[in-house]
A = this chain, B = another copy of it.
Amino acid sequence: MAQNIFDNPTFFAEYKNLRENEPNYNDLLEQPAMRALLPDLAGKDVLDVGCGFGHNCREFAERGAKRVVGLDLSERMLAAAKAQNALPEIEYRRMDMADLDTLAAGAFDFVYSSLCFHYAADFPKLCADIFRLLRAGGRLLFSQEHPFTTCSKNESNRFLCDENGRADAYALAHYAERGRRTGKWFVDDVENYHRTFGDIVTALAEAGFHIERVVEPEPSPEAVRIRPGLEKEFIRPAFLLVRAVKCK
């Protein structure tokens, strides 16, 4: 089971504030790149793994999905989703992504997950479970923290600066050491799992997926203007996106 950090009251309040009140990395960087990779959803059955506040579930329904199931481990997240993003086509359910094997096989045309899979301990199982949930021709689109960042063991000062104090490099470390990491993000001991790029692509391939796209999103000039600091994404991308298909 993944750590349920989103039900920590301090974490939840801070995270909610981050997502609602600032120009944040999700809105400026990750979400535009994910949206560009969305397939046609008209009439489709969609599963959102780690649906959070339900913004994406609402968008999928508005894009014509027949049915949207939003899963999250956090009761607080699901309560917010039900309050803010309820629609007749959407069903919100509490579930750990480690338990996807309890759902019926072949029930979905599209599985989506935004910034959640780096919390999963067993990625090959997750890939196999999602492959099983999809119909032939169905797609998986997910984002996760980039292996450049998941590899870090919470060292500080990850960016290195030139003589003018401008970040010009990133201190990459422990890349080949897979496994659990803990670090501070609003609260202590937030847990995630490091996998290499090769691990991620190979696990998807071994589950049977045909990989269509791998994207490491870069900010637009407008996004960099709105949020100085985002230009560091050109040194080392923070996110990795993959779109894959279950071939017919």
Interface residues in chain A, defined as those with a beta carbon under 8 Å from any beta carbon in chain B: 148, 155, 160, 168-177, 196-198, 201-202, 205, 210-216, 218, 233-237, 240, 247
Chain B: which residue is nearest A160 at the CB level? B171
Contact (Cβ within 8 A) B216 A198: yes
Q: Are B175 and A237 touching (Cβ within 8 A)?
A: yes
Q: Which chain B residues border A196 with CB–CB below 8 Å?
A: 216, 237
Interchain CA distance A173-B237 in the complex, whole Å: 11
Given contacts A197-B214, A210-B210, A212-B205, contact A233 B171 (CB under 8 A): no
C-alpha spacing A191/B121, complex, angstroms = 41
Q: Which chain B residue shows the least CB distance to A168?
A: B173
Q: Is the beta-carbon distance between B177 and A234 smaller than 8 angstroms?
A: yes
20 new A-B contacts at CB < 8 Å, known A171-B171, A174-B234, A175-B237: A155-B169, A160-B160, A169-B171, A170-B172, A171-B172, A172-B235, A175-B235, A175-B236, A176-B216, A176-B233, A177-B234, A198-B213, A198-B216, A201-B201, A201-B211, A201-B214, A205-B210, A210-B210, A210-B211, A211-B211
Contacts of A213 in B (CB 8 A): 198, 201-202, 205
- Compute how far the CA of A175 lies from the CA of B173 in the bound complex, rounded to whole angstroms: 16
Residue of B nearest to A219 (CB): B176
Interface hub of A160, A169, A235 (most chain B Cβ within 10 A): A169
Query: Cβ of A197 and Cβ of B216 under 8 Å apart?
Result: yes
Asked if residues A169 and B173 are in contact (CB atoms below 8 Å), the reply is yes
Please state if A235 and B169 are interface contacts (CB–CB under 8 Å). Answer: no
Give, as a whole number of angstroms, the nearest-CB distance from A217 to chain B.
9
| B215 and A211 contacting across the interface, CB-CB below 8 Å | no
Most buried by B among A214, A237, A247: A214
A-B contact pairs, 29 of them (CB 8 A): A155-B169, A160-B160, A168-B173, A169-B171, A169-B172, A170-B171, A170-B172, A171-B171, A171-B172, A172-B172, A172-B235, A173-B235, A174-B235, A175-B216, A176-B234, A176-B237, A197-B216, A197-B240, A198-B213, A198-B214, A198-B240, A201-B211, A201-B214, A202-B213, A202-B214, A205-B211, A205-B212, A211-B211, A247-B247
